Chains A and B, each alone.
Chain A
Amino acid sequence: NAGVTQTPKFQVLKTGQSMTLQCAQDMNHEYMSWYRQDPGMGLRLIHYSVGAGITDQGEVPNGYNVSRSTTEDFPLRLLSAAPSQTSVYFCASSYWGSGANVLTFGAGSRLTVL
């Protein structure tokens, strides 16, 4: 029973490089989301998905792409990394049918862009 698994845990990129943060959940949750956490700013929603084939933008979507081809996986792509994307990224999922969006979080991926 792994819950929400994020890889990699740490990554260093150079400005302009691209990469994908992986997120997988084994709880059959319909809802998945990506947040970034920066000091003093809490968590800000990047993108979310309410089911396979459906994605939508959150508060800070610029510079990021997502797709949801399966219920289990929700990768986050950085198209051309910038120093402003240095952050800790969290993937979270929930069972929307509970009537409330109670999130289960992954352990996080710390990204540094030089």
Chain B
Amino acid sequence: SQQGEEDPQALSIQEGENATMNCSYKTSINNLQWYRQNSGRGLVHLILIRSNEREKHSGRLRVTLDTSKKSSSLLITASRAADTASYFCATDAGDYKLSFGAGTTVTVRA
């Protein structure tokens, strides 16, 4: 069964606004990763946060991790049309089986 679950399932925002999506998971992890998938393409790794980290930044991306609540959030600031994609969280329990959620579809309106 899937480890991570993203919320919301879909998100529509205006260009320039921020987009926030959340991921909840069930068991202990070594790290949590976020991936992006553009329509009809493969997934691309965005950012990784380890279990002993609380926050991480990469460009316009900010990821938080709360291991006590078993949850993570991904914030995309100042969104652009090119950010239109599906975003997936993936949990790594150190057992070679990276487990993905069902994803959040983000639409950025011009």
A and B from one complex:
yes
For the complex formed, measure the closest distance between the CB of B81 and the CB atoms of chain A, giving whole angstroms: 22
Residue from B43, B48, B50 with most neighbouring chain A CB atoms (10 Å):
B43
| Chain B interface category by residue count | 20 to 34
Q: Determine if B42 and A50 form an interchain contact, defined as CB atoms under 8 angstroms apart.
A: no
Known contacts A90-B43, A101-B92, A108-B42: does B101 contact A42 (CB below 8 Å)? Answer: yes
Q: Determine if B43 and A100 form an interchain contact, defined as CB atoms under 8 angstroms apart.
A: no
Say yes or no: is A56 at the interface (Cβ < 8 Å to chain B): yes
Q: Which of B46-65 contact A (CB under 8 A)?
A: 48, 50
Q: What total of chain A residues lie within 8 Å of the partner, measured CB to CB?
A: 27
Q: Determine if B30 and A106 form an interchain contact, defined as CB atoms under 8 angstroms apart.
A: no
Instruction: Determine the chain B residues whose CB is within 8 A of the CB of A31 once the complex forms.
Output: 96
Q: Bound complex: CA of A58 vs CA of B40, how far in Å?
A: 24
User: Footprint of B on A, CB under 8 Å?
Assistant: 4, 31, 33, 35, 40-45, 48, 50, 56, 58-59, 90, 92, 96, 100-108
User: Footprint of A on B, CB under 8 Å?
Assistant: 1-2, 4, 30-31, 33, 35, 40-45, 48, 50, 88, 90, 92, 96-103
